[in-house]
Amino acid sequence: MDRRVVLEAAVPVYDVETADEAVRIAISKTGNLLNPDLNYVEIGPATRECPNCGEQEDAAFVAADEALVALELELTVYNTERDEHAARIARSELGSHLTDIPLSVVDVVDA
């Protein structure tokens, strides 16, 4: 069965002034690391929610002209046995291109 896997990545960005600038640079940086081999991966800012108040937060945290940006990477994994199998394949494929960038599984759904 085919499954759609969403992973969250924590991408460091340097020499930025605003959260919007950090997100744009992080998306570009991640795209460059994945292309041309994984050009089918959809990249976008992660939706974050404040654990205390429930309000939406920026995908980037900026301090001292450096940022940590939360990105969502979405791809379809074909012919998998279980959700866990699809998640392992997705982490392995993306992790081989995104060295030193932590990845966590957010969601796995049938495609």
**Ramachandran bin of 65, using left for φ above 0, alpha for ψ from -120 to 50, beta for the remaining angles:** left
Helices 83-97/19-34 angle, 10° precision: 90
Q: What confidence tens digit (pLDDT) does each residue in 53-68 have?
A: 888 888 999 999 999 9
Say if CB 44 and CB 71 are below 8 A apart: yes
**Does the pTM exceed 0.75?**
yes
Q: What confidence tens digit (pLDDT) does each residue in 46-102 have?
A: 988 888 888 888 899 999 999 999 999 999 999 999 999 999 999 999 999 999 999
Average pLDDT over residues 17-42: 96
- Give all domains of the chain, ordered by start, each with its CATH number: 3-110 (3.30.70)
| Residue owning tokens 């081989």 | 96
Average pLDDT over residues 9-25: 97
